[in-house]
Amino acid sequence: MNGKFAFSLLVAVLLTACGPIFGQMMEANNGIKEFTVEKGTLGDLKRGESILVYGPFDKTDDAFYICRGEDAAHFAAELRKSGFNTELYIEHTFKNLQKTAQGLRHKTPEQLREDLQLDILPDKILFGTILHRQFSVAPTKGVEVNEGFRLEFLDPKTGRSIIVEISDEELVQNSVPTIVAEILKHG
């Protein structure tokens, strides 16, 4: 009887340990997966600058929205925490997303502030595209996301852009902070 009890106890302990072990293994693979500067120089993105974050971000067929505008809001908040002066503008009529973005590309910082009633005079406009997104559960850790973004920082004075494509795999709450930290590391 003691042998069966000991075996049952061993099996129970091993089964309950699988979740945390699997969760730890998933978390060990977290971080930046791809990082490419497609255009421009990240050194032109300087802390202290004012950034207008335009949302909701666009998306490809391999991506989906959690909530329209949420990605832009997360990037605006994280950039603010990282030393930028940010303001978020959300296009409320989704069918006008591309048309409004095109119009913003041709405005001066003064026109942007006046037309959008901004508190800042933007040095850059951040346009984003969600390239891909997939969720998975890391047992005992939380929900992980594997996602990629194409981020364009447009200088409205010169018309020059810094374009970055970046993918990461992280716990949901760590994804945008990881991406912003990686961009600033290369700046």
Identify the residue with better confidence: 55 or 6. 55
Give the pLDDT band (50/70/90) at residue 6. Answer: low
How many angstroms separate the CA atoms of 115 and 121, rounded? 12
147: nearest Cα among 183, 175, 181, 177: 175
3-state secondary structure of 159: coil
Q: How confident is the model at residue 141 (pLDDT cuts 50, 70, 90)?
A: confident
Q: Is the pLDDT of residue 131 over 50?
A: yes
| Mean pLDDT, range 136-153, rounded to an integer | 90
Q: Would the pLDDT of 21 be above 50? A: no
pLDDT at 81: 97
Mean pLDDT of the chain: 88
pLDDT at 43: 92
Query: Model confidence over 33-65: pLDDT tens digits?
Result: 999 999 999 999 999 999 999 999 999 999 999
Percentage of the chain modeled with pLDDT above 70? 84
Of 80 and 136, the structure prediction assigns the larger pLDDT to 80
The pLDDT confidence band at residue 72, using thresholds 50, 70 and 90, is very high
Q: β-strand 31-39 against 161-171: which pairing, if any? A: antiparallel
- Give the predicted TM-score (pTM) of the model: 0.83
> Which residues have CB under 8 Å from 64's CB, separation 6+?
130, 133
Q: pLDDT band at 24, cuts 50/70/90?
A: very low
The 10s digit of each residue's pLDDT in 85-118 is 999 999 988 888 899 999 999 999 999 999 999 9
C-beta separation of 88 from 71 below 8 A? no
